[in-house]
């Protein structure tokens, strides 16, 4: 008899001192081998509302200081917010390039340099505009005893995904940091074509 392999598994946790404060890092793995992490800060009781950020991997923005997108700015701001609030969780999902992967994102950037927008570039490469899944967030939050959240995002799809997984989202906190001349057009496209919510005056 074969037992069904779980889709996602919790693996291990450790202390993670950072420039922003001391977090704990928690590792998770998908059956495919894809690895993800959650960072937690502070303490809470089960049922408390916990501030969280769900962040999809962006190597260029998160680690290489790119200003083509807002990712690096948002990541840093989210960690700062969590430390200021005294508690919170970052779910760092390894779905680079809205799920198309790093090298395809570079191909998409090249197409955007010749005039396509971020959605047209994905489609030109044969991908949907957004291939991400948030299913693993449920295991990550359950593991950390988080059932009710305040979500830092401009992306209503993340709210809907959490609600459909049975996580109670009591509020959305906009995270509109890092709008630069290099990414204004990209963020405007996300607002017009992908449903992101940005205050229009931020693009002026």
Ligand X SMILES: Nc1nc2c(ncn2[C@@H]2O[C@H](COP(=O)(O)OP(=O)(O)OP(=O)(O)O)[C@@H](O)[C@H]2O)c(=O)[nH]1
Place of tokens 């990414």: 183
Q: Could you confirm whether 107 is annotated as catalytic?
A: no
User: Partners of 35 in the beta sheet?
Assistant: 29
CA dihedral 23, 149, 100, 13 (to 10 degrees): 30
**Footprint of Zn ion on residues 97-156 (CB under 5 A)?**
none
Q: Which residues contact 5 (CB under 8 A, 6 or more apart)?
A: 31
107 contacts 113 by C-beta, under 8 angstroms: no
Query: In the complex with ligand X, which residue's Cβ is closer, 81 or 112?
Result: 112
For the chain, how far is it from start to end, CA to CA, in angstroms?
63
Q: Could you confirm whether 62 is annotated as catalytic?
A: no
**Footprint of ligand X on residues 61-120 (CB under 6 A)?**
69, 71, 74, 95-98, 100, 105, 108, 112, 118
- Contacted entry of Zn ion, ligand X, none for residue 56, CB cut-off 5 to 8 Å set by kind: ligand X
Contact set with ligand X (CB under 6 A): 55-58, 69, 71, 74, 95-98, 100, 105, 108, 112, 118, 122, 153-155, 158, 196
Contact set with Zn ion (CB under 5 A): 58, 61, 69, 71
């Amino acid at each position: 008899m074969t037992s069904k392999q779980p889709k996602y598994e919790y693996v291990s946790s450790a202390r993670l001192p950072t420039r922003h404060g001391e977090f704990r890092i928690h590792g998770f793995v998908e059956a495919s081998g894809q690895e993800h992490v959650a960072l937690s800060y502070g303490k809470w009781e089960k049922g408390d509302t916990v501030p969280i950020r769900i962040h999809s991997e962006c190597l260029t923005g998160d680690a290489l200081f790119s200003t083509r997108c807002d990712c690096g700015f948002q990541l840093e701001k989210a960690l700062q917010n969590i430390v200021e609030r005294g508690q919170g969780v970052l779910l760092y999902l390894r779905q680079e390039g809205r799920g198309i992967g790093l090298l395809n994102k570079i191909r998409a950037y090249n197409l955007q340099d010749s005039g396509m927008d971020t959605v047209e570039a994905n489609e030109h490469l044969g991908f949907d505009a957004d291939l991400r899944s948030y299913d693993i967030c449920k295991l990550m939050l359950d593991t950390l005893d988080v059932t009710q959240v305040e979500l830092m995002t401009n992306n209503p799809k993340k709210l809907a995904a959490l609600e459909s997984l049975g996580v109670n989202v009591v509020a959305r906190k906009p995270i509109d940091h890092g709008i630069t001349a290099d990414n204004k057009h990209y963020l405007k496209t996300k607002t017009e074509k992908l449903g992101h919510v940005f205050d229009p005056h931020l693009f002026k």
